[in-house]
């Protein structure tokens, strides 16, 4: 029994990973957009010194503006790409997931497979963004590079959960992409003191990427480990992911799938009957 469970879970996880690998647009954006974004942001902040508040200590830090902007640029790129990837895969995969459940595939394994795939994909994307950032970092190197990766990973998890939630709620691809773009841009742009005069105000605590940004600042310029911000980020991720997976479970449960299929059959039958009647009238 345990072997069957493991095999089915592996199959569900592999399917979820393949869904992400097939998204060539997202992979292209990852390979090209991330380094290009770093380069462009670095161009406009050369020689700038910025002051940012370290919320874990309450102190103001005077840091290299280019390096700080690199952190926010990475945050911006990751949230856009990951949100787009998981919205697209969830929204497009819903019909297939319904058929799997109707065929007897356990819902719990589908849900767990999606969650495991999200953990793997977001960790790898965050690692790529961190390594590329290291190549652009000016003046020595970040104080704690693994902590920067952790901040990127937390942001990726949050927007992976957000993309999944949109995927089960929004049926229009255009509307979903617009929401991902607007929410991530507003959220991450407010974290950058270069373009936001309120960059050190308590209002920023209310936004999803706040904790991730604090982890990146700590990793880039201090030797602190802000554990509270890790918990805050994971809380946002859990909120989005749990809500999205609950709705996914509801929409793919066998009874709900059967109702949807019966509705489609009824609509098809009515359409065929109408076309048949219209054909007879034309013939008469």
The pLDDT score that the predictor gives to residue 188 is: 87
Reduced to 3 states (helix: H, G, I; strand: E, B; else coil), residue 253 is coil
Q: Is the model's pLDDT at 276 over the cut of 70?
A: no
Confidence bin at 60 (pLDDT 50/70/90): confident
The whole-chain average pLDDT of the chain stands at 83
pLDDT digit string (tens) for 169-225?
998 888 999 999 999 988 988 887 766 655 567 778 889 999 999 999 899 888 889
* Percent of the chain whose pLDDT exceeds 90: 36
Proportion of the chain above pLDDT 70, given as a percent = 84
Within the chain, residue ranges assigned H as helices are 2-21, 24-28, 34-43, 65-102, 107-136, 145-169, 173-189, 210-221, 227-252, 254-283
For 70-126, the pLDDT digits (tens) are: 898 999 999 999 999 999 989 888 888 888 888 888 888 888 989 999 999 999 999
**Cβ-proximal residues to 144 (8 Å cutoff; 6+ apart), any chain:** 218, 219, 220, 222, 223, 225
- At residue 133 the predicted structure's pLDDT band, cuts being 50, 70 and 90, is very high
Band of pLDDT at residue 255, cut at 50, 70 and 90: low
What is the band of 282 on the pLDDT scale with cuts at 50, 70, 90?
very low
Give the pLDDT band (50/70/90) at residue 274: very low
| pLDDT at 162 > cutoff 90 | yes
> DSSP for 182-240?
HHHHHHHHTT-TTT-TTTTSGGGGGSTTHHHHHHHHHHHH-S---HHHHHHHHHHHHHH
The pLDDT confidence band at residue 246, using thresholds 50, 70 and 90, is very high
pLDDT at position 254, please?
Answer: 63
Task: Identify the band that residue 5 occupies on the pLDDT scale cut at 50, 70 and 90.
Answer: confident
- Is residue 58 scored above 80 in pLDDT? no
pLDDT at 48 over 80: no
pLDDT at position 12, please?
A: 86
């Amino acid at each position: 029994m345990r072997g069957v469970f493991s095999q089915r879970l592996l199959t569900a996880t592999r399917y979820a990973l393949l869904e992400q690998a097939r998204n060539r647009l997202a992979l292209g954006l990852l390979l090209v957009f991330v380094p290009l974004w770093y380069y462009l942001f670095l161009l406009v902040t050369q020689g700038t010194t910025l002051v940012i508040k370290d919320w874990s200590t309450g102190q103001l830090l005077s840091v290299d503006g280019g390096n700080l902007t690199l952190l926010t640029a990475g945050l911006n790129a990751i949230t856009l790409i990951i949100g787009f990837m998981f919205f697209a895969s969830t929204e497009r995969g819903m019909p297939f997931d319904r058929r799997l459940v109707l065929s007897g595939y356990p819902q719990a394994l589908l849900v767990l497979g999606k969650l495991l795939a999200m953990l793997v994909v977001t960790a790898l994307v965050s690692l790529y963004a961190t390594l590329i950032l290291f190549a652009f970092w000016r003046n020595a190197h970040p104080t704690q590079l693994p902590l920067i990766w952790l901040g990127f990973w937390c942001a990726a998890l949050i927007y992976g959960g957000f993309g999944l939630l949109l995927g089960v709620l929004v049926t229009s691809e255009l509307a979903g992409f617009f929401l991902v773009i607007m929410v991530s841009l507003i959220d991450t742009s407010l974290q950058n003191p270069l373009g936001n005069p309120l960059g050190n105000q308590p209002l920023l605590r209310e936004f999803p990427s706040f904790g991730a940004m604090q982890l990146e600042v700590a990793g880039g310029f201090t030797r602190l480990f802000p554990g509270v911000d890790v918990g805050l980020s994971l809380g946002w991720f859990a909120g989005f992911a749990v809500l999205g997976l609950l709705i996914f479970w509801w929409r793919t449960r066998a009874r709900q799938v059967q109702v949807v299929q019966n509705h489609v059959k009824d609509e098809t039958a009515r359409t065929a009957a109408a076309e048949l009647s219209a054909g007879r009238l034309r013939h008469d």
